[in-house]
Copies of this chain bind each other. A is one copy, B any other.
Amino acid sequence: MADAIRALAIDAVEQAKSGHPGMPMGMADVATALFTKFLKFDAADPRWPDRDRFVLSAGHGSMLLYALLNLTGHAGMGIEEIRRFRQLHSPAAGHPEFGEHPGIETTTGPLGQGLANAVGMALAERMLAARFGKSLVDHRTWVIAGDGCLQEGISHEAASLAGHLQLDKLTVLYDDNQITIDGDTSLSFTDDTLKRFAAYGWAVRRVDGHDAEAVASALAWATRVNKPVLLACRTIIGFSAPTKAGTAGSHGSPLGAAEAAAAKSAMGWNHPAFEVPEGLRERWEAAGKRGGGTRRAWLKRLAKHPMQAEFERALAGRLPEAWHEPLAALRAKTAADMPKIASRIASQRALEALVPAVPEMVGGSADLTGSNNTNVKGIPAVTAGNFAGRYIHWGVREHGMAAAMNGMALHGGIIPYSGTFLVFADYMRPAIRLAALMRQRVIHVLTHDSIGLGEDGPTHQPVETLAGLRCIPNLAVFRPGDAMETAECWELAVKRADGPSVLALSRQNLTPFRTDSGENRCARGGYVVEEASGERRATLIATGSEVPLALVARAALEADGIPTAVVSLPSWELFAAQDASYREQVLGDALRVGIEAAVGFGWERWLGPEGIFIGMGGFGASAPAEDLFRHFGITADAVVAAVKKRLG
């Protein structure tokens, strides 16, 4: 049966004239054992919520996954699709892409990400089991990871956390083939990986990855151990290829016609390209139906379960009916009270309204809970012994946090939100990109969003971070300017089911400017906060903490007879999605002045060539916040002076 995987992998890579045959050939025996005996799934419904999750973290070996989906009889991954491996519009893309086929649990390829996604999935399973009970939620998470995944730093963060939380239904099958692209792993990698994972609190074992019985017995052991398991499968990359097996030559390019033929002959595989003999296909398809009975029994349990509706709602990603009511109440109260608070504090208030009303919201922080204000009173933390909590102490593991959150969102039933400083978005960036690519509802609460954080200095002061996030497709970046806008932006982020959101929040207090609470004005991305008293001579366009500053400048300009409007631009992405006439009406054709305590990169989009930008020209400095705003010339006085100078 494993040879069928190898043959398909060889043929598809030859046909595409590109791809990675070595890994599927090396891991075919292990994968066959997993899919025919252990993995709980039913090819008839690849999205069955209680299926085991299988994550191919070593995503370059995508043909392993496509071959398995094909052989086990999944619709939508027929031989025609395999023939079109790596071609436009084929679900069999170069790397597994979430959304291309329902059997693909996550997008992998950037190494280490899948492993961390899997930690999030395994954590989600434990948390949903705690919420809905074992009769609805009781599945395992399996990962295939290679040397590259384990060299990446994210593997440390993810594995350390999985060990800490004792995620005992997680099994990592380590393709221990001793080969990386540059050659033998001994060129760069001499870790004792088993010992390393044991140090994280994992159960570890080594097995011959080509000994089917030994693999099956090790997999059975993995399901019994009450710790996360690392199973190092000693394999030969490109197994069966007569000259390229065991070498980097089989890793990332076609074997070539002669070697491909020789490999098939070594396997005793005498079938035409892309053909799997009927008997073999039947055995594989039977494996694809193994889980059918279990699934049907589960469906019956679900139908009788008192939480059926709630389970289905949460898994479908639909928000509870009255979810926004506490937030609406908070918005009304905010309009009345006009609190002068930091937007990170306003965010905590929004969370106090949201978290009790949206039970699938799960928060956390990378060891900055008190600074990010991400926790909510009465919400317990998740611990190794108790997964009924809804708050996660991620530790100083930003990258692992963001990637595990992707896994939680992909698992379904959870809307994860994080906390760290905005500048550390850089540490999470590869995972944020994947959330955007996969269009997952993952929310990052990123506080201390400018030089306004003060004394911690340039290492902690984002200046290019907003631009660096705004350029990522499908990511919504929100930078609210007062408590009302913060509540509105939270509402938008939670509603945004088809992509990740970032909330950039201030450390420092912000003077409120919004008195109305009916319409969510942030929903259009940008709007006029205060219109000019007469025909506009200037429009001050600002985000976040610079909106109050713009309002002070406006008052001074108006007092000097210069009619000036102030525009708040909390989300560039939403504003860009409005029609041009709305945008033009908001931005106006008077002198445009952009104000943001960040670099101006990208601001030309709103300011045009004649506009003025008042912000940062480079990195920040260490000093009290007020000193820094003065030092870098981001003040109402500077705005007034620039406008007057230009208007003459």
The count of chain A contact residues (Cβ–Cβ below 8 Å) is 105
Say yes or no: is A368 at the interface (Cβ < 8 Å to chain B). Answer: yes
A18 to B454: give the CA distance in the assembly, Å: 10
Query: Told that A90-B622, A110-B426, A474-B619 touch, could you supply 8 new A-B pairs with CB distance under 8 A?
Result: A97-B622, A151-B367, A163-B191, A164-B191, A180-B367, A182-B365, A467-B471, A602-B602
Decide if B602 touches A455 in the complex (CB within 8 Å). no
A619 to B164: give the CA distance in the assembly, Å: 35
Decide if A434 touches B459 in the complex (CB within 8 Å). yes
Closest B residue to A630 by beta carbon equals B88
| Interface window among A343-351, A395-403, A538-546 | A395-403
Q: Contact check: which of B86, B189, B198, B631 meets A195 at CB < 8 Å?
A: B198
Q: For residue A149, which residues in chain B have a CB less than 8 angstroms away from its CB?
A: 396
A148 to B394: give the CA distance in the assembly, Å: 11
Q: In angstroms, how far is the closest chain B Cβ from the Cβ of A577?
A: 13
Say yes or no: is A201 at the interface (Cβ < 8 Å to chain B). Answer: yes
**Chain A residues within 8 Å of B, Cβ to Cβ:** 16, 18-19, 59, 86-88, 90, 93-95, 97, 107-111, 147-149, 151-157, 160-161, 163-164, 180-182, 187-193, 195-196, 198-201, 365, 367-371, 381, 393-400, 423-424, 426-427, 429-430, 433-434, 436-437, 454-460, 463-464, 467-468, 470-474, 599, 601-602, 604-605, 608-609, 617-619, 621-624, 627-628, 631
| Most central of A192, A195, A433, A622 by chain B CB within 10 Å | A622
Q: A16-B455, A97-B622, A468-B471 are in contact. Are A393 and B602 (CB under 8 A)?
A: no
What are 19 A-B contacts with C-beta separation under 8 Å? A18-B455, A86-B623, A87-B624, A93-B622, A94-B457, A94-B622, A95-B459, A97-B457, A110-B426, A110-B460, A149-B396, A151-B157, A427-B430, A434-B459, A467-B471, A467-B601, A473-B617, A604-B604, A609-B609
Q: For residue A471, which residues in chain B have a CB less than 8 angstroms away from its CB?
A: 464, 467-468, 471, 599, 601-602
Closest B residue to A474 by beta carbon equals B618
Q: For residue A109, which residues in chain B have a CB less than 8 angstroms away from its CB?
A: 456-457, 459-460
Q: For residue A200, which residues in chain B have a CB less than 8 angstroms away from its CB?
A: 191-192, 196
Closest B residue to A108 by beta carbon equals B459
Q: For residue A437, which residues in chain B have a CB less than 8 angstroms away from its CB?
A: 458-459, 619
| Most central of A188, A192, A426, A604 by chain B CB within 10 Å | A188
Decide if B467 touches A467 in the complex (CB within 8 Å). yes
Closest B residue to A618 by beta carbon equals B473
Q: In angstroms, how far is the closest chain B Cβ from the Cβ of A598?
A: 9
Q: For residue A110, which residues in chain B have a CB less than 8 angstroms away from its CB?
A: 423-424, 426-427, 459-460
Q: What 5 pairs across the A-B complex have the smallest Cβ distances?
A: A153-B153, A188-B395, A156-B156, A109-B459, A93-B622
A188 to B153: give the CA distance in the assembly, Å: 17
| Most central of A95, A151, A198 by chain B CB within 10 Å | A151
Q: Contact check: which of B155, B182, B365, B423 meets A156 at CB < 8 Å?
A: B155
Q: For residue A365, which residues in chain B have a CB less than 8 angstroms away from its CB?
A: 182
Decide if B459 touches A107 in the complex (CB within 8 Å). yes
Closest B residue to A430 by beta carbon equals B426
A109 to B599: give the CA distance in the assembly, Å: 21
Q: In angstroms, how far is the closest chain B Cβ from the Cβ of A224?
A: 22
Closest B residue to A19 by beta carbon equals B455
Decide if A400 touches B18 in the complex (CB within 8 Å). no
Q: A196-B196, A599-B473, A602-B602 are in contact. Are A182 and B370 (CB under 8 A)?
A: yes
A456 to B95: give the CA distance in the assembly, Å: 6
| Most central of A109, A153, A195 by chain B CB within 10 Å | A153
A489 to B87: give the CA distance in the assembly, Å: 34
Decide if A199 touches B188 in the complex (CB within 8 Å). no
Decide if A622 touches B86 in the complex (CB within 8 Å). yes
| Most central of A424, A426, A454 by chain B CB within 10 Å | A426
Q: Contact check: which of B90, B151, B371, B396 meets A396 at CB < 8 Å?
A: B151
Decide if B601 touches A371 in the complex (CB within 8 Å). no
A460 to B460: give the CA distance in the assembly, Å: 29
Decide if B395 touches A151 in the complex (CB within 8 Å). yes
Decide if B627 touches A189 in the complex (CB within 8 Å). no
Q: A460-B95, A470-B601 are in contact. Are A87 and B623 (CB under 8 A)?
A: yes
